[in-house]
Amino acid sequence: MPIVNFGSAGYQLYIHLATFWAYKNLLIKDSSDTYGIVRMYETRNILFKQCIFDAVNTNVRIFSIEHYLKSVFFNQVILTGESEGGKTSQHGFYINGASNVYFKYVAVYNLGGYALVCGNGIGEKTNFGIEYQNGRQEIYIFAGQVLFNDIRLGGKNGYVYSDNLTPGIVSIENYNVLDVHQLFYTNGQVLKSDVEIGSGDPYKRSDGADSVIEILCNLSTLRAPILEEWKYLVFEHEFEMDTTLRNYRYYVQCKAMSIALASELYLECEYIDQYVNTTTYYKTKVRSDGIIAERSDENDWTQYVEVTGIQPAVASKVRIKCYLSKYDADGRIFIDPKVVLS
């Protein structure tokens, strides 16, 4: 493997206005340039494959990915450094601007800072902080969306940090353990939690789903906005229905907390309530208006959110959305995603 060693001096690999360039089987290390070992600016379709980047002797980011990069691919790439010694500016990928970055079979570990600082990123089969811990949270989001499938986060010093109050999210599937789903949203985490009858926390509801939606909303009161445009969409379900009048109910538990206002957790139902013909029809939206008290125990599935009196004017879709805007430092919300119709 060829080695490029910048000798801890202010040099770097600078890629500018390049299109369809590929770098393969390289070890690049130790630049003290403030933009990092590799800087990319206004490029298109760049590939790094089977490469190692080493920042052991410097306190700078490894990759700076800036301004309108179209499709940068990292495949079978390792980024490593030195997490000891206060090198808190030693980050792995620093993605700034409207860039599309894709990760596959990537490992980032033993850095003093974040594994990934980003606006946008998509990846799979990637490890952050698994082989050895990183010095700060694994992922720092300042804008956009970060979507990963089959990723593992070590999380020794935290999983995800964001000072972004817009709905930028990280979606993580197969999170360290097979079949576990974890989502980081603006004000906390959403997890898929398997449940059983008569054991666990919570118990499975009689005739309920085999897994529930578990929500932590514990980051900040500032991230539980009043305006509906910023409320978090927990789930969306669609049903093909006839003109029969129905009620739609989802059972909820609140552990060590409560939902004191109907605007903190609610259902919104959209359906056709007036129909003239296939080109002239009108939709309406209705909301649930219930509150949820703290549960009595793990088996207390007596409370719910519900929209009632839903009767489409013609056989058509009924769309149910569940929204959340809540802060609680210690509590958890459990939602059984199996709808109950009546």
pLDDT tens track for 255-286: 999 999 999 999 999 999 999 999 999 999 99
Lowest mean pLDDT among 67-81, 173-187, 226-240: 173-187
Q: Please answer whether residues 178 and 156 qualify as being in contact, where contact means their C-beta atoms are separated by less than 8 angstroms.
A: no
* 214 inside domain: no
Q: Can you tell me the distance from the alpha carbon of 79 to that of 66, in angstroms, rounded to the nearest whole number?
A: 18
pLDDT of residue 77: 98
pLDDT of residue 65: 87
Residues 242 and 98 in one domain: no
pLDDT of residue 258: 97
Residue 59 has pLDDT above 80, yes or no: yes
Residues 290 and 233 in one domain: yes
Spatial neighbors of 59 by CB under 8 A, at least 6 apart, are 87, 88, 89, 90, 112
* 119 inside domain: yes
Token pair of 9, please? 């001096």
Percent with pLDDT over 90 in the chain: 67
Q: What DSSP designation does 337 have?
A: -
Q: Can you tell me the distance from the alpha carbon of 275 to that of 230, in angstroms, rounded to the nearest whole number?
A: 31
| Number of domains the chain is built from | 2
CB atoms within 10 A of CB 41: 17
Question: pLDDT of 153-204, one tens digit each?
Answer: 888 888 888 765 455 566 666 555 445 667 777 788 888 899 999 999 999 9
Domain that holds residue 271: 229-331
Lowest mean pLDDT among 18-32, 45-59, 82-96, 160-174: 160-174
* 192 inside domain: no
Selected residue with higher pLDDT from 71 and 177: 71
pLDDT of residue 227: 79
pLDDT of residue 164: 59
pLDDT of residue 119: 73
Lowest mean pLDDT among 2-11, 74-83, 97-106, 140-149: 140-149
Average pLDDT of the residues in 42-56: 93
Residues 51 and 158 in one domain: yes
Residue 315 has pLDDT above 80, yes or no: yes
Average pLDDT of the residues in 311-316: 97
Long-range contacts of residues 172-176, Cβ cutoff 8 Å, at least 24 apart? 172/148, 173/148, 173/149, 174/149, 174/150, 175/151, 176/152
* 278 inside domain: yes
SS3 state at 221 = helix
Domain finish residue from 185, 218, 244: 185
Amino acid letter, residue 65:
I
The CATH code of the domain that includes 45 is 2.160.20
Q: What's the Cα-to-Cα distance from 316 to each of 33, 168, 243, 277, 311, rounded to whole Å?
A: 60, 32, 8, 13, 10
Residues 130 and 39 in one domain: yes
Residues 15 and 120 in one domain: yes
Selected residue with higher pLDDT from 26 and 172: 26
pLDDT of residue 165: 47
Verify cis geometry, omega within 30 degrees of 0, for the bond prior to 337.
no
* 55 inside domain: yes
* 150 inside domain: yes
Spatial neighbors of 257 by CB under 8 A, at least 6 apart, are 294, 328, 330, 331, 332, 333
CA 121 to chain CA mean position, Å: 11
* 215 inside domain: no
Residues 171 and 38 in one domain: yes
Amino acid letter, residue 153:
L
Mean pLDDT of the chain: 90
Q: What DSSP designation does 278 have?
A: T
Question: pLDDT of 218-228, one tens digit each?
Answer: 988 877 877 77
Q: Can you tell me the distance from the alpha carbon of 218 to that of 296, in angstroms, rounded to the nearest whole number?
A: 21
Residue 216 has pLDDT above 50, yes or no: yes
